[in-house]
Amino acid sequence: MSAITPEKWQILPQNFYQRVDTNLIARQLLGKLLVTKLNGIICAVRIVETEAYHGITDRASHAWGGRHTNRTSVMYQAGGLAYVYLCYGIHALFNVVTNTINVPHAILVRAGEPVAGIGTMARRTGKNERHISLTSGPGNLSKALGIQTAHTGKSLQGNTVWLADDGFTLSSRRIAATPRIGVDYAGEDALLPYRFIIRDHPYLSGRS
DNA sequence: CGACCGATCGTCT
DNA sequence: GACGATCGGTCGA
């Protein structure tokens, strides 16, 4: 793995997010870094699991049927923003908004492998640095990185939360697509293969 | 193992 | 008033 050298990480540009193929973007996020800088402390994970949500036509999406509420309005912005919402009253789940304005697609980041700031992440969560659940699962991941609902709407070109490329590469053989987790309410849309994982990675949440 | 359950609160009906 | 894009614990087979 590469050294912890944040100054060499290339921030993913706006046009990475504003493409129309959200599944492709979700797949390309595997292996990238999700980074936070809070109170001057940098934490980062390498993304190993994502889920694409296809907006208006996707029963699993908060924007299904064109639902446009205060909470979901950020998804209707052009890609490149954070969409963070509270789940079960407890967990702040982190998504990246993709696609163009008025196309409310998003990608949930579900798990990562710790890369930087591991001590801080352990302190935030009260877990051992080496425990898998430190950054596995979307609620756990946000807690470790310090991501909160107040971060919703933030630009991913800013200096609080962003995604970056450190040169890590991944062959397509190591990537798999599966149904999404926890969306049984979505009927047959729950069966769509919109969850992307690095095969057999130890930090995956749920089943492989 | 798997099934179930409680926590906890913003959002939407 | 009902319900989560979850998690960690318990209980029983």
Sequence-ordered list of residues with C-beta below 8 angstroms from that of A132, at least 6 positions apart, any chain? A202, A203
* pTM for this predicted structure: 0.97
What pLDDT was estimated at residue A102? 97
Q: Which pLDDT tens digit goes with each residue over A102-116?
A: 999 999 999 999 999
Which nucleotides along chain C are within 7 A of a protein C-beta? 3-8
What pLDDT was estimated at residue A5? 86
Q: Please work out, in degrees rounded to the nearest 5, the angle formed at the alpha carbon of residue A162 by the alpha carbons of A170 and A153.
A: 130
What pLDDT was estimated at residue A147? 98
Strand C contacted by A92 CB (< 7 A):
no
Pick out chain A residues at pLDDT < 70. Answer: 1-2
- Residue lying closest to nucleotide B8, CA to C1': A89
Q: Which pLDDT tens digit goes with each residue over A63-104?
A: 999 999 999 999 999 999 999 999 999 999 999 999 999 999
